[in-house]
Structure 1
Amino acid sequence: MKKFEEYPRKNPRFKITSFMTLKKALSGKSTEPIEIGNWIDLVELDVSLDYMQALITVNESTSYIEENIIEVQSQIHIALEKNNITYGKKNIDILSLKPGKPFIIAQGTPPQKGLDAQVSYLAQAEKKPVINEDGKADYFDMNFLKEIHEGSWLGEKIPAKEGVDGTNLYGETVKAAPGDDITLKYDPKTAYEIEEGGKIVLRSKTKGVIGEVNGVLSVLKHLVVDGDVGIETGNLKFDGSIQVKGTVMAGYSVIASGDVSIEGKDGVNSAELIKSAEGDVFIKGGIFGRGVTKVEAHNNIYLKHANECTLDAKENIHIGFYALGVSMFANEIILDERKGKIIGGKAVAVHSITTAYSSNSMERKTELIVQGIDRKILTENAKMLAEKIVQYQEESTKLNYQISQLGQFKGKMTTQQNGMYEQVKQKYNLLQQEMKEADKEIQRILRMLRSKAEYYVNVTKEANPGTYIQIGNKSTFVASTTKGKFKLENGELNV
């Protein structure tokens, strides 16, 4: 066997196919021929599965190749013709070929996929509080609402491009895939598409403010009050966004489904209720609540300062300077880390509270409470809401069928029948709203369950005596002036 191994080394074209048969043949005598291997071709050619590349392998020694260049070249040509390869053939240096090593002899041109569609939208107002200093006074400002006029540009799509076809080794055209399309997401009731200069441009059908409803760009209804909300306007309740250029007078309320922006520099004084059912609330001048003002937001609350009022946000509360005697409830409560103050009152957050100062030199009781989340309860709540949505959908389907049936006789109905028809429609619309609210709450719960945020109270400058800190079920009063990021460590508060 050892002596036989020299033969394949001297003859590269000899390939043993069965070592067991060879061993048997060498160890015994036989009068019949026994197949132990193959004599392979001088040149072997392999074509890739996509017919885009051909490889040749020369099964001879370097010296053989050098001495038989014309034969090797001829065999390569024959192999290409035999396999009908007509496209992408390469000129190669025969002397550069290495025995037994594959070498690319032909290469097709792969198809090039077209460019994907590109979509861009008008950026919404960046609802991020900015605190500026001019050396004399501080002020809290932000571009809260972005007004839209009829015909305004809202976005555009550059359509997907066709690809460039390729060619395989056989000269056949290989079709290229076009680029992926992207759908413009918008509310067709408030926006429309139009082709302009090879682009699909999205424009507004109406005047309003740019917004997003269930992930879809929309132009929301927008009520602008140039002055104050008071005797001349009465209480405001509006299905859309409300922008008050002045203030909200004592005892009056502003309730909107969308964002609420109160832009008077003097703030809000003893107003009763300011509420956004689906958006954010921004109060540029702050609040003097006198114990009666309540602000509610489905998302966030932004304001300069807060005095003796109640703030309730499902997402976050941002306060520029101070909260004095305020009851606050939110996911996160954030005051300026350089000069923000929480003095008196109660701040209750799910995840975190950040402020520069808490309590004061008079040791006024100030409660800073971070509750954390109960995953089991939240999961159960999400399941219950999902079950409610299923019930709503079933009932909604029935009501929709009734509406379509009654609608056929709309012009022939009696007054009583018309009243019934309107009641069914109203019930249907109410169900749609309840489904939307339930879905929003489920999404909020899922975000909370997915978050890995730590729970803490962060007082960056001074936590004065009188400060009560609670994280989860652990609590303590600050005994002496301190600062830091207070959280649970090994099950105990690090205060």
Structure 2
Amino acid sequence: MIEQNDEITLTEKNGRVFIAITNGGYTLKKFDELTRKHTRLKVSNFLALKNAFEHKTHEPIEIGSWIESMELEISADKMEALLTIYESQTYIQENLAEIYTNIQKVLQEQQIIYGLKPIDLLNVKSGKTYIVATGLPPQKGGNAKVTYLGQAEKKPVIKENGNTDFFDMNFIVEIKEGSWLGEKIPAQKGIDGINILGENVPAEPGDDIKLNYDTKSAYEVEEDGKTVLRSKTKGIIGEVNGVLSVKKHLVIDGDVGLETGNLTFDGSIQVKGTVMAGYSVIASGDVSIDGKEGVNAAELIKSTEGDVYIKGGIFGRGATKVEAYKNIFVKHANECTLEAKDTINIGFYALGSTISANQILLNERKGKIIGGKTIAVNSIIAAYSGNSLERKTELIVQGIDRKILKENAKEKAQEMIKLQEEMSKLKLQIDQLKNALTVQQIAVFEQTKQKYNQLQVEIKEIDTEIKRILRTLRQPNNYYIHITKEANAGTIIQIGYKTSVLSSPTKGKFKIENGELNV
């Protein structure tokens, strides 16, 4: 018997609840108050309940169920147990010892022994769910850590007095055979956890990280619990598409001249002396001319994939040309031509020279551009331009046509796809010819390999150019010429298609504002 009075009889049998109405004045509102008193009553047959009230039946009608005093739910991962008590607030307060005993019994039945959490029965609310046990979660191990030997920082040091130090740039770092190139500390084991049943929960190890390197120039060795990367050969550190390598490195202890002849090298070149008048140095990697006197009337100094550094500057006599795929670093430029796709850094001055790059930087305190033509895509920075004699000095920032650049990148991407398809076909031919027997088959095999290798070089060049274009497109449209100290009369300032010739000395950051040049 759950409830019996002059109006209704509410009974329970085997978990099923029945109602019989003995007084026609009994209402649903009163029944609703009754359900709040008996919180274990769950009405599921509302149609039967409605009929009982409409027909005032004296016969018991099944309307729902009488649920358990409490319900325990265990999470799928066995890391948490949730308890819901359905007894009324009054019943709980009057039967604390019984409720506590029942909770312990339910926990024991489910074999929950770890991470038990007490419930404040004095403040517990009927029908609300409480956490009664929590497992100790496993801790994932630390990820592997990879460190690589860094590239030399190719950046002139600006001293406090404003001078640019080109003598300690450490432009090329030579690698010896067996040199440390990097290392990997392996992923760590995790710490196991414990679930609420007291069972061990295995932890995941940390994520592994692959060492990316060229196997032809480096190798792995286990040392003191670490995987150490060492050089197979001497050279300089290099990187292609995120893969570390040791590139070939040619060192000329003296000058490039009569004894050496012109130099062309697939790798980097370090000339500890100078390049004599009329001689050339061409390298795929970085080119470093370390002689303090610089170069005098050399014909061509060129890097097809890297940077060019000339420690002592250039006296070109109108004959010297310096080209770099990336950057040029030079102490001064006198009557020469400089071309770079990224940045040209000039320490002291540029006199009567033709200079072009993405951006051109001179010392903001003392750097001078006098005469000649200086052309940049994005920006030109110097302390002075022209001179008191009003020598014609052209400073031009062209800007970029983004639409043309995007189309150019798209065309190159399509070209690269075609080359990759051709490479796949050649790779198949190479695999088929590996076991060539006849002289003719061997010749075809070697020719196919050569063509395959040439395509690899072409694809690499196109990929590098696409990345350069995309890098340019990501730059904001902030084209300017900044003369920090004095732009003399005779200086020509040009941004895009807007041009102005200075008639009197001035200074400032010149750019397009409201469609006009702010000179």
TM-score between the two structures when normalised by the length of structure 1 = 0.90
Q: Relative to 1, partners in 2 of residues 1:440 and 1:138: Cα closer, same or farther, differing over 3 Å? A: closer
| Alpha-carbon distance between aligned partners in 1 of 2:506 and 2:126, rounded to the nearest angstrom | 79
- The reply on whether 1:233 has 2:260 as its aligned counterpart is yes
- The reply on whether 1:465 has 2:492 as its aligned counterpart is no
Cα pair 2:381 2:482 within 8 Å, conserved: yes
- Aligned counterpart for 1:448 among listed residues 444, 447, 472: 472
Cα pair 1:133 1:139 within 8 Å, conserved: no
- The reply on whether 1:310 has 2:337 as its aligned counterpart is yes
Cα pair 1:352 1:457 within 8 Å, conserved: yes
- Aligned counterpart for 1:321 among listed residues 339, 343, 348: 348
- Aligned counterpart for 1:429 among listed residues 437, 447, 453: 453
Q: Which amino acid is 2:486 matched to?
A: E
Superposed displacement of residue 89, structure 1: 2.6
Q: Relative to 1, partners in 2 of residues 1:371 and 1:70: Cα closer, same or farther, differing over 3 Å? A: same
- Aligned counterpart for 1:114 among listed residues 141, 144, 165: 141
The structure with the larger Rg is 2
Q: Which amino acid is 2:114 matched to?
A: Y
Q: Secondary structure at the match of 1:317?
A: strand
- Aligned counterpart for 2:166 among listed residues 123, 140, 144: 140
Q: Secondary structure at the match of 1:95?
A: coil
Alignment gaps of 5+ in structure 1:
none
Match runs of 1:8-157 below 5 Å: 8-14=35-41, 28-31=54-57, 39-60=66-87, 63-95=90-122, 97-132=124-159, 139-141=165-167, 142-157=169-184
| Alpha-carbon distance between aligned partners in 2 of 1:450 and 1:110, rounded to the nearest angstrom | 44
Superposed displacement of residue 204, structure 1: 0.6
Cα pair 1:131 1:320 within 8 Å, conserved: no
How far does the alpha carbon of each residue in 1:362-385 deviate from its partner, in whole angstroms, 9 at most, with x for none?
222222222222121111111211
Match runs of 1:297-446 below 5 Å: 297-409=324-436, 412-413=438-439, 422-446=446-470
Q: Which amino acid is 1:437 matched to?
A: E
How far does the alpha carbon of each residue in 1:287-315 deviate from its partner, in whole angstroms, 9 at most, with x for none?
11111111111111111111111111111
Aligned to 1:492: 516
Q: What percent identity do the matched residue pairs reach?
A: 65
Q: Relative to 1, partners in 2 of residues 1:491 and 1:408: Cα closer, same or farther, differing over 3 Å? A: same
Superposed displacement of residue 72, structure 1: 0.8
Aligned to 2:23: none
Superposed displacement of residue 404, structure 1: 4.5
Query: Which moved further from structure 2: 204-213 or 477-486?
Result: 477-486
Q: Which amino acid is 1:348 matched to?
A: I
| Alpha-carbon distance between aligned partners in 1 of 2:67 and 2:518, rounded to the nearest angstrom | 79
| Alpha-carbon distance between aligned partners in 1 of 2:102 and 2:402, rounded to the nearest angstrom | 73
- The reply on whether 1:474 has 2:501 as its aligned counterpart is no
How far does the alpha carbon of each residue in 1:450-470 deviate from its partner, in whole angstroms, 9 at most, with x for none?
232522111111122222222
Superposed displacement of residue 34, structure 1: 6.8
| Alpha-carbon distance between aligned partners in 2 of 1:5 and 1:421, rounded to the nearest angstrom | 91
Q: Which amino acid is 1:273 matched to?
A: L
| Alpha-carbon distance between aligned partners in 1 of 2:61 and 2:487, rounded to the nearest angstrom | 95
Q: Secondary structure at the match of 1:372?
A: coil
| Alpha-carbon distance between aligned partners in 2 of 1:55 and 1:399, rounded to the nearest angstrom | 64
Q: Relative to 1, partners in 2 of residues 1:461 and 1:27: Cα closer, same or farther, differing over 3 Å? A: farther
Cα pair 2:119 2:130 within 8 Å, conserved: no
Cα pair 1:132 1:140 within 8 Å, conserved: no
Q: Relative to 1, partners in 2 of residues 1:84 and 1:233: Cα closer, same or farther, differing over 3 Å? A: same
Q: Relative to 1, partners in 2 of residues 1:10 and 1:313: Cα closer, same or farther, differing over 3 Å? A: same
| Alpha-carbon distance between aligned partners in 2 of 1:21 and 1:332, rounded to the nearest angstrom | 83
Cα pair 1:234 1:252 within 8 Å, conserved: yes
Query: Which moved further from structure 2: 466-475 or 241-250?
Result: 466-475
| Alpha-carbon distance between aligned partners in 2 of 1:472 and 1:118, rounded to the nearest angstrom | 48
Q: Relative to 1, partners in 2 of residues 1:350 and 1:34: Cα closer, same or farther, differing over 3 Å? A: farther
Superposed displacement of residue 58, structure 1: 2.9
Superposed displacement of residue 420, structure 1: 5.7
Q: Relative to 1, partners in 2 of residues 1:134 and 1:446: Cα closer, same or farther, differing over 3 Å? A: closer
| Alpha-carbon distance between aligned partners in 2 of 1:317 and 1:430, rounded to the nearest angstrom | 30
| Alpha-carbon distance between aligned partners in 1 of 2:31 and 2:393, rounded to the nearest angstrom | 95
Cα pair 2:303 2:325 within 8 Å, conserved: yes
Q: Relative to 1, partners in 2 of residues 1:350 and 1:69: Cα closer, same or farther, differing over 3 Å? A: same
Query: Which moved further from structure 2: 254-263 or 21-30?
Result: 21-30
| Alpha-carbon distance between aligned partners in 1 of 2:252 and 2:160, rounded to the nearest angstrom | 29
| Alpha-carbon distance between aligned partners in 1 of 2:352 and 2:330, rounded to the nearest angstrom | 15
Query: Which moved further from structure 2: 397-406 or 386-395?
Result: 397-406
Q: Which amino acid is 1:343 matched to?
A: I
Q: Which amino acid is 2:134 matched to?
A: Q
Q: Relative to 1, partners in 2 of residues 1:264 and 1:43: Cα closer, same or farther, differing over 3 Å? A: same
Aligned to 2:310: 283
Cα pair 2:247 2:268 within 8 Å, conserved: yes
| Alpha-carbon distance between aligned partners in 1 of 2:317 and 2:101, rounded to the nearest angstrom | 101
Cα pair 1:44 1:57 within 8 Å, conserved: yes
Match runs of 1:154-173 below 5 Å: 154-173=181-200
Cα pair 1:185 1:216 within 8 Å, conserved: yes
| Alpha-carbon distance between aligned partners in 2 of 1:100 and 1:363, rounded to the nearest angstrom | 92
How far does the alpha carbon of each residue in 1:3-44 deviate from its partner, in whole angstroms, 9 at most, with x for none?
6654455454456669x8699579844427677766544323
